[in-house]
Structure 1
Amino acid sequence: MRRAWLAAALCCALPSAAVTAQQRQVVIYRCTDASGQVTVQNDVACPPGTRQRKQVIDVPPPLPSYQPRDVRMPAVVAEERAQADAAIAAALPPPVPAAARQPPPPLFQCSTWDQQQYLTEEATPQERCAPLQVVGLDGVSPQGAARACQTVVDACQPVAAEALCQAWQRRVDEAEFRWKFAGAGAGDARRLEYEQLAATLANSACP
Structure 2
Amino acid sequence: MRRWLLLLMGWMSVASAQDVTIYRCTDPTGALTVQNMPCPKGVQQQKKVMTAPAAVPFAPGGSSAASPARTAPSAQPRATPKTEAPAAAPVAAPAPVAPTPPATTSTSTLPPPPLFECTAHDNGRYFTEEREPATRCLPMQTTNLAGGPATGGGSACEVVTDRCAPVPDQSLCEAWRKRAEQAEATWRFSDEAQSAERKQRYDQMRRVLDESRCANPSATP
Question: What TM-score comes out, normalization by structure 2 length?
Answer: 0.46
Please state which structure has a larger fraction of its residues in helix: 1
Higher Cα radius of gyration: 2
Question: What TM-score comes out, normalization by structure 1 length?
Answer: 0.49
